[in-house]
């Protein structure tokens, strides 16, 4: 077992989406190594039952623990919803979800006390965002919208496609009638179409991507446990493990993670 502070940080998602979190973490923590697990063989998570998603999340964490990670980031809102809904199991390292940090960010941003949340069906049905937000401030109205077509479109690479814009309009139109001034991208795939979403909702609405807030929490947790890698460490390594390799993943991941470079890309089984 490696010295804890030089051990990698584990990050997982069902597919490409968690790379939005990984990129932010790797840029904010340039001395840290990362192991990323994309469970592409079982994607999408957001249309599965919460029990199934919890089982997948547990298996993903166990896989990352086998890589001697010192912390795990569940860079998936659907998995974070499941982990927050089924508390009880203690893992041997800190496990950070994306929902609490994004909610905190939104709470400090809203002025009208109207926060909208876009998410997968599982995340919206599980209602964890609303629970976390209203627990902190019962006066806030939470307007949630499931956007089940976003993930397949993004995984297909249809990011700049007119069809993507049509789908965004279709899901966001009902939210335009609310007094929202803050919109949480409650799925880690959605920051990949943030520009297109912002265009539809207008510049008045602040769009919250969980990644910066997750990086703050991770730094804080590691700092208090003396887990931060020391500055003399070797150059940063980012290893990607994918449960089903398709040709598009490598291309999109490389393009998206730029200027960071991928250390290795491995097909893996859980």
| Residues near ligand DGL, by CB under 6 A | 13-15, 17, 43-46, 76-78, 120, 123, 151, 187-189
Asked if 35 contacts 75 with a C-beta cutoff of 8 angstroms, the reply is no
Closest separation in Å from C-beta 173 to ligand DGL: 22
Pick 152 or 225: Cβ nearer ligand DGL: 152
Pick 69 or 151: Cβ nearer ligand DGL: 151
Task: Please state, in angstroms and rounded to a whole number, the distance separating the CA atoms of residues 89 and 59.
Answer: 13
187 is catalytic: yes
Pick 142 or 229: Cβ nearer ligand DGL: 142
Pick 159 or 233: Cβ nearer ligand DGL: 159
Closest separation in Å from C-beta 217 to ligand DGL: 16
Pick 60 or 236: Cβ nearer ligand DGL: 60
Contacts with 20 (C-beta within 8 Å, 6 or more apart), sequence order? 75, 188, 189, 191, 192, 209, 211, 256
Asked if 77 contacts 53 with a C-beta cutoff of 8 angstroms, the reply is no
- Token pair for residue 184? 């949480």
CA dihedral (17, 200, 148, 49) positive or negative: positive
Closest separation in Å from C-beta 128 to ligand DGL: 11
Q: Give the helix/strand (H/E) hosting 222.
A: helix 210-224
Closest separation in Å from C-beta 204 to ligand DGL: 25
241 is catalytic: no
Burial per residue of 73-96, b for 16 or more beta-carbon CB atoms within 10 angstroms, e otherwise: bbbbbbbbbbbbeeeeeeeebbbb
- From the number of C-beta atoms within 10 Å of its C-beta (0-12, 13-18, 19+), residue 6 rates as middle
User: CB nearest ligand DGL: which residue?
Assistant: 46
Asked if 45 contacts 14 with a C-beta cutoff of 8 angstroms, the reply is yes
Closest separation in Å from C-beta 50 to ligand DGL: 12
Task: Please state, in angstroms and rounded to a whole number, the distance separating the CA atoms of residues 107 and 103.
Answer: 6
Catalytically active residues, by annotation: 76, 187
């Amino acid at each position: 077992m490696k010295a804890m502070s030089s051990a990698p940080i584990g990050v997982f998602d069902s597919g490409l989406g968690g790379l939005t979190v990984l990129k932010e973490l790797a840029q904010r923590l340039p001395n840290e190594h990362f192991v990323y697990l994309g469970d592409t063989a079982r994607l999408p998570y957001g249309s599965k039952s919460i029990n199934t998603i919890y089982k997948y999340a547990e298996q993903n964490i166990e896989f990352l623990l086998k890589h001697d990670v010192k912390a795990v980031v569940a860079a998936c809102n659907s998995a974070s919803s499941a982990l927050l809904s089924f508390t009880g199991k203690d893992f041997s390292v800190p496990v950070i979800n994306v929902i609490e940090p994004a909610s905190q960010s939104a709470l400090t941003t809203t002025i009208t006390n109207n926060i909208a949340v876009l998410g997968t069906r599982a995340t919206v049905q599980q209602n964890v965002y609303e629970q976390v937000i209203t627990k902190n401030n019962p006066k806030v109205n939470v307007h949630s919208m499931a956007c089940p077509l976003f993930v397949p479109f993004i995984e297909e690479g249809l990011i700049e496609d007119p069809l993507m814009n049509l789908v965004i309009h279709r899901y966001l139109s009902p939210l335009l009638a609310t007094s929202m001034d803050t919109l949480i991208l409650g799925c880690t795939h959605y920051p990949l179409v943030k520009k297109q979403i912002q265009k539809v909702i207008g510049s008045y609405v602040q769009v919250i991507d969980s990644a910066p807030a997750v990086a703050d929490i991770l730094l804080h947790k590691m700092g208090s446990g003396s887990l931060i890698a020391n500055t003399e460490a070797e150059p940063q390594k980012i290893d990607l493990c994918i449960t089903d390799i398709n040709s598009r993943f490598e291309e999109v991941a490389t393009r998206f993670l730029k200027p960071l470079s991928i250390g290795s890309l491995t097909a893996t089984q859980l």
